[in-house]
A and B are shown apart, each in its own frame.
Chain A
Amino acid sequence: MPVLIAHTISEATEILAENPDATILNGGTDLMVEVNFNHRHPSSVLLLRNVPQLREWSIDSSQQTITIGAGVPYAAMETGAIAAAVPALAQAARTVGSPQIRAAGTMGGNLGTCSPAGDTLPVLSALEATIHLSSQDGERIVPFGEFMVGPKKNSRLQHEIITAVTLPITGRRQGYSKVGVRNAMVISVASACFAVVDDTPRLAMGSVGPTILRAVKAEKFLTEATTNLNIISDEIAREFGQIASTEARPIDDHRSTAQYRAHAIKVLASRLAVRGTAS
């Protein structure tokens, strides 16, 4: 199996244009497991770890945004400037696997796999991040809501690579929670990200539907129920969680039940709605 090594983004897109069947490796914490389990037999692999540009991140202070390269590992998001700019992302990154996995796994990989249980994806959904895609045809920027289209399905075209993600720096309350049956190193049974963006509440839910779901009714309820998002009564928070859980579309599987997942969303959403407030 040929391994094709790119050193720049343009080299990567060139390789991909010439080898449209190549499987992109960016961290390998999903792909290598699939290969080892014989679930996948790539004809060739495009390796991105030697593209320095993908491992960079930058803050645009005029736009109040942060752009994180697709090769930035989770470990780099847990603390420091990225964590300060997007605290919910840091919280999500901390829940990914073990320290070894967080050192290897990347934002681009999470987006490439696009599992409904992808740990950072609810943050990207709540913050309405945009995904940067590059190909020989140029760059394309896609809102997260249009990027993830199904379980493990995204709108990346075969000849495109994911290069970066841009997120707003809101300076407002945001938080992430994930339920698993173990206190660390566990696949999400249900997860949620709450954020205040442009003075409106946003709630995204993971592992409770075919894609990351936005709880639009709950968001609307909260917008109407309060004038100050920093003062939310327990009663309103409960109602918010209740509505959010009706918007979840969970299933039964070997990890949990639909009933528990919907319940967990109710609890997580109501707790996140007040997390960091005075109440």
Chain B
Amino acid sequence: MSSVKTKRDVLGTSSLRPDGGAKVKGDFAFTSDLHAENMLWGATLRSPHPHARIISIDTTAAWKIAGVECVVTADDVPGQLTYGLISSDQPVFAKDVVRYMGEPIAAVAADHPETCRRALAAITVVYEVLPVLFDPELAIGDDFEPIHPEGNLIRQQRIVHGDTSVVGDVIVEGHYVIGMQDQAFLGTESALALPDADGQGVEVFVATQWLHEDQKQMAACLNLPTERVRLVLGGVGGAFGAREDISLQVHTALLALRTSRPVKMQYGREESFFGHVHRHPATVWMRHHATNEGKIVKIEARFVFDGGAYASTSAAVLINGVTHTQGPYKCPVAVVDGYAVRTNNPPCGAMRGFGVVQACFAHEGQMDKLAAAVGTDPVSIRLMNAMETGDLLITGQPVESVAPVARLIRETNEIPLPPDLAMDANELELPGGSGITAERKHIKRGIGWGVSIKNIMYSEGFDDYSTARCTLSDGKVVLKFATSEVGQGFVTLAPQIARSVLGVTDAVCDTIDTQIGSAGSTSASRQTWMSGGAVDGACRLVRERLFEVVGAQHNIEPIRFAIEDDEIVDTAGTFRMSVIEASQGITISETFEHHHRPTEELDENGQGNCHVAFAFVAHRAVVDVDPELGLVKVVQIATAQDVGQVLNPLSVLGQIEGGIAQGLGLAVMEEIIVQEGRVRNPSFTDYLLPTALDAPVVVARMIEEYEQQAPLGAKGVGEPPCISVTPAIVAAIRDAIGKDIDRCPVRPQDICL
């Protein structure tokens, strides 16, 4: 009898997303699509001022509006009045003072969103406008009155490494400016809160990156035991870091508890720009010292990250920035000063790349300056300095990860350049696109490089473990974890792991909620490694138990068993049995916590093994520029990325292409314009995201060098694609026009005026 093997979506295949079909057809329920019987709508009153004292809040008129069920302010918060990821410095509602435009002051619950709007309009707040601290440089030192009890300096970190008296034969210097980027996820903030019948607990469906962190912060503010705040992941429409911080979670739950009715909140697009943190705008100064050949001997740098009004993750973003000063290059000596400061600008926190984007924009600009100064080319200078496994970082930490930097550069360089722009090219192929602003003869082409190093997982002693449970029964596997699926594809990967480890076909994910231990955040390119490790561990424990059961039944030492395709086989005999048959009538369930190796805090000189592991990538950009009008079209991005092991090629390619589009946005168009603390473009009309016409051809190579530290040999792939593509594009613009540009996004006037 010959058995027909069905193709199983194991590790290494391009298994399709379980929710892909529903998302394409519009059937997938995002959190904003949720509804409950007898549900109220919630809405938030926000400050129109970047900095003001609140003299009084009068909610009387709002309460009197028919349909309004509840109005809450800071006075109604039953527990801790503040929250925050690292420092609990952000008020649930502003009470005495507002520190940024859009800060929440009150929330209402009513029978209809329009009733909510009227109720918000009926709340009278009297403000005394205060001077606005909008210049981050003024926040360093004592030049401006503290705008927060915790002061204007969120964190300062210095790195001093090696013999700092060294002076290079060649010195290049640059000042770089990185604008404020928004994560611009498509699914705006949304939550549905259902109060428990006894009023002593609440269940909240929410789009978030880290259920357990939300749960902890919410329980503290609501003054409830953690287990009485149960979170369920609602359908998430993108995250990119913007869902790490609390936004509407506490407000929604508080309104539900107060009204004893389900309450739903959902931000509109404009409100979303005020409702989450953004990428830190930063200024970076770097001075590179090198030998006459171009070998780096010392780097001096100064970083200022504008954290905005509240701390969020600024302290960690700063550390990522300063510890990645050297980029993916050998550097024996460094002196770096970094500041994360508080201002009355919008709060900034996590976004894909997390501090490394800012560092990379500067160090890559420097590498090109260095190449020019020693008379070599961008590829040679990078190859000459390329980091290798075993090198010491400027923090003194050895790079133990696979570090194929030179290979990434060479493989990227081998990718064929795109053909020249045809003399009769269609206007849509030219910079300016549908606006028909140019003809072929006006266009100049440029090529630029960017290479990056990015830490993966959390740093500085933080144990961001992940938990997973695997239950095998009748040949079917159910996986349980609290890993937020924000689009990255863990719900695709987890069943692939189970199929590979256990030889099953039927593997599904249970509801993602807080009914199991934490998975840590879906950020820092960490879930494939951390939650992948947890799922792998749990599946391996189940496999051990299954081997014990089968071994006892057939009198074979369990250690002799292995899984081969969908069968259990005796590696020292002839016994074979399908996993389906072996698991009939039994249920085996195991839970596993995966912890990465411990890391250390940095000392006062910025020395210490603070990071877990690193991933690398190279980008080469080809752009066409209209130098006279300052318009740009990115033609091609060639990239080779250090991925460890490819577990799902389609998923990896999706991350690469998506990351490149996001990095392109920062290079040439995406910027929140803030003037004296006021956001001027909180809409997709004026905050420009790349369209299909702006997106380049991407030619990607996935470089597989098995990462021994990683449970599945695979490195995270989410952040690297967006990091060095930005400097690569800006370098290509410089190459095309022969002019120095030191900021991103590059605006037309930066090119042509």
Contacts and interface: CB of A to CB of B under 8 A. Distances in A.
Q: A and B from one assembly?
A: yes
Taking residues whose C-beta sits less than 8 angstroms from the other chain, chain A's interface range is 35 or more
Interface stretch (B258-266, B505-513, B682-690): B682-690
B669 A182 contact: yes
Interface string B727-753: 000000000000000000001110011
Contacts of B753: 259-260, 263
B162 interface: no
A126 to B, nearest CB: 15
B686 A255 contact: yes
A179 B685 contact: no
Nearest to B117: A38
A184 B749 contact: no
A271 to B, nearest CB: 7
B442 to A, nearest CB: 7
A271 B438 contact: yes
Contacts of A189: 748
B688 A182 contact: yes
Contacts of A178: 434-437
A254 B749 contact: no
Contacts of A256: 748-749
A264 B673 CA distance: 21
Nearest to A119: B435
Given A177-B435, A255-B686, A260-B748, 14 more contacts: A94-B434, A95-B436, A175-B436, A179-B432, A182-B691, A182-B694, A183-B631, A184-B434, A184-B693, A185-B693, A186-B435, A191-B435, A256-B748, A275-B439
A268 B747 contact: no
19 contacts: A37-B270, A91-B436, A175-B436, A177-B432, A179-B435, A181-B748, A182-B694, A183-B428, A183-B433, A183-B691, A184-B434, A187-B685, A189-B748, A255-B686, A256-B749, A260-B748, A260-B749, A263-B752, A264-B629
Contacts of B680: 253-254
B400 to A, nearest CB: 43
Interface string B627-657: 0111101000000000000000000000000
Given A95-B434, A268-B437, A181 B747 contact: yes
Pick the most buried of B668, B681, B685: most chain A CB atoms within 10 A of its CB.
B685
B434 A183 contact: yes
A180 interface: yes
B378 interface: no
B431 interface: yes
A226 interface: no
B688 A267 contact: no
Interface residues of B, number: 37
B631 A179 contact: yes
A275 B437 CA distance: 10
A32 to B, nearest CB: 13
Given A184-B691, A254-B680, A267-B628, A95 B685 contact: no
A241 to B, nearest CB: 10
A155 interface: no
B437 A271 contact: yes
Contacts of B436: 91, 95, 175-178
A257 interface: yes
A187 B688 CA distance: 10
A271 B633 CA distance: 19
Interface string B598-641: 00000000000000000000000000000011110100000000
B266 to A, nearest CB: 13
A257 B752 CA distance: 13
User: Which 10 residue pairs are nearest across A and B when measured between Cβ atoms?
Assistant: A183-B433, A254-B680, A178-B435, A260-B749, A184-B693, A183-B693, A184-B434, A254-B673, A182-B688, A177-B437
Contacts of A271: 437-439, 442
Pick the most buried of B431, B438, B748: most chain A CB atoms within 10 A of its CB.
B748
B127 to A, nearest CB: 21
